[in-house]
Amino acid sequence: MRDMVEQATLAAGAAHGGPQAVPKIRMRGVRKAFGPKQVLDGVDLDVAAGHSLVILGGSGSGKSVTIKCVLGLIEPDEGVIEIDGRDVTQMSRREREAVADRIGMLFQNGALFDSLPVWENVCFKLLAQGRVTRAKARDKAAEVLAQVGLAGSVGDLSPAELSGGMQKRVALARAIAAQPDIIFFDEPTTGLDPIMGAVIDGLIVDCVKRLGATAVSITHDMASARRIGDTAAMLHKGRIVWSGPAASLGHTGHALVDQFANGEREGPIQMELRR
């Protein structure tokens, strides 16, 4: 099974620059435990530059922990995490911050700062990095909001005044405003109706293509996974157990992945229910 994963990830790399190309993100043997619970148990993953990977997995399987390890929000217990061939776990804080400057993140619930208006949320990173002045930030925010289909007037509202779909769009605008190389999407369509979910997926695909960024998304939504991803990987019991084209989800021939993608009750994944 491990060979299958290696082949799939290397194939993804080959499609975007050949087998010799350094992956944009490379994880090897990443392990993380919280107390007695081993959440990541040797995660191996490659994401080629300009590629969009979707990580699938049940609740509590460690998807969010995986991307938080890459982001530096959680320190892994073991393993290597490379971005552009450099191990971020061995970097100094300053180097790590420089890497983080090139990464965007869309959080599951948006994580918008409710004490700030929308325009300040959108331009937060640009203001923090001194790439835009406060005087010009409103215009910049309006420009980025237009890219996610929102009117510039939304910039003056507070996040609490927005609907769930609008909050997701603002969070997307914030994630792309600094034109990152890598963008992480944590369950981007959770809590949205199917049409709004499709709209957000479309915006994500457009934004990622326009920026030429590398994208890693985690989701339970199979329709969303097929729309966003070039490749999908299945995380189960702390390991990547399958990786392949996102379009093949549901008919991969891998019993565990097919059960998950088709939402079947019977199969190798047994839900732990108390009776």
Q: What are phi and psi of 224, to 5 degrees?
A: -65, -45
Binding site for another protein (CB under 8 A): 68, 71-73, 97, 100-101, 103-105, 107-109, 111-115, 124-125, 128-129, 174, 178
Q: Which is nearer to another protein, 12 or 170 (CB)?
A: 170
Helix (H) or strand (E) holding 61: none
Q: Which is nearer to another protein, 105 or 162 (CB)?
A: 105
Q: Which is nearer to another protein, 14 or 73 (CB)?
A: 73
C-beta separation of 139 from 123 below 8 A = no
Q: What angle do CA 129, 130, 135 make, to 5 degrees?
A: 135
CB of 64 to another protein, least distance (A): 10
> Distance between CA atoms of 31 and 22, rounded to whole angstroms?
22
CB of 144 to another protein, least distance (A): 14
> Distance between CA atoms of 264 and 77, rounded to whole angstroms?
34
Q: Which is nearer to another protein, 67 or 241 (CB)?
A: 67
Tokens of 20: 């010799």
> Distance between CA atoms of 53 and 36, rounded to whole angstroms?
30
Q: Give 90's Cβ-side CA count (13 Å radius).
A: 8
CB of 114 to another protein, least distance (A): 8
CB of 81 to another protein, least distance (A): 15
Q: Which is nearer to another protein, 90 or 129 (CB)?
A: 129
CB of 235 to another protein, least distance (A): 20
